Amino acid sequence: MVRLCIFDLDGTLIDSLKDLADCCNWVLEEGGFPPHPQNAYRHFVGNGIPKLIERILPEEERTEEQMASFRRRFDERYRAHCLDATKPYPGVSELLHTCREKGISLAVLSNKAEPFAKFICKEIFGEQAFDAVSGQKPEIPKKPAPDGVYSLLMGLHVRPEETVLVGDSNVDILTAQNAGIHSIGACWGFRGREELEQTGAESLADTPKDCQNIIFTKNWQ
């Protein structure tokens, strides 16, 4: 029986691709660098902001000084524009509500910097939507390291076999595997079914409604 659902944020609960792409491209163009197509950001994001910055900058510009400068400008721009177009995927709010009604604890585990993760979750879903929201912070290695999962399990007093992680990328599935918990691939997100299938997602959901059905009907072992 599932007692805790841990959700990835970007590409799983929320469609934030346009705001992330617009913010990065604004900073790139401000610095005199060419922008990237929005669709390219589906594979740029997922491993935290430092890795995102590394991926979008030209290789010869990836100096420590340039990366730090870009990070400062990104944080300023994203703080002001992270909710311009970002919204929950259709059916996500209903999924969360149903899990709550059934007594399942809810958490978010994201490689997005924790202040942004907490702010966006609060603004979009409300302060009481999740029992815990954990973003990237220096003291805990980012996904796919299992440390963030372990911290949530300890804080919420749930065993690994009672926990499922829902995410849209190979990073999320690997995180679940590394932590010894169940996984559901969110095929509606940034990366798509093929990547999730190849990484070994335990179950695959095309929509949040499918995800809900899997959570409540699968014979979890």
pLDDT at position 59, please? 87
How large is the C-alpha radius of gyration of the chain? 17
What pLDDT, on a 0 to 100 scale, did the predictor assign at position 89?
98
- Plot region of 206 (φ>0 → left; ψ -120 to 50 → alpha; else → beta): alpha
pLDDT for position 122: 98
pLDDT at residue number 1: 86
Q: Which domains does the chain have, with CATH numbers?
A: 4-15+87-217 (3.40.50.1000), 17-81 (1.10.150)
> Do 198 and 39 meet the contact criterion of CB atoms below 8 Å apart?
no
pLDDT value for 118: 97
Among residues 8, 15, 19, 210, the one annotated as catalytic is 8
Token readout for 6 is 């841990």
d(CA 132, CA 139): 17
Cα dihedral across residues 135, 137, 139, 141: positive or negative: positive
pLDDT at residue 180, as a whole number: 98
> Could you tell me the pTM of the whole model?
0.95
Q: Which residues of 69-87 are buried (b: 16+ CB within 10 A; e: fewer)?
A: ebbebbbebbeeebeeebe
Q: Is 8 among the residues known to form the active site?
A: yes
* Residue 118, both tokens: 């907490």
DSSP 62: -
Which pLDDT tens digits describe the chain residue by residue (221 residues)? 899 999 999 999 999 999 999 999 999 999 999 999 999 999 999 999 999 999 999 988 888 888 999 999 999 999 999 999 999 999 999 999 999 999 999 999 999 999 999 999 999 999 999 999 999 999 999 999 999 999 999 999 999 999 999 999 999 999 999 999 999 999 999 999 999 999 999 999 999 999 999 999 988 87
Looking at residue 201, what is its pLDDT? 98
CB contact burial 149-181 (16+ within 10 A = b; e otherwise): bbbbbeebebeeebbbbbbbbbbbbbbbbebeb
Predicted local distance difference test score (pLDDT) of residue 135:
96
**CA distances in angstroms from 92 to 52, 140, 185, listed in the order given:** 25, 27, 14
Helix/strand/coil for 113: strand
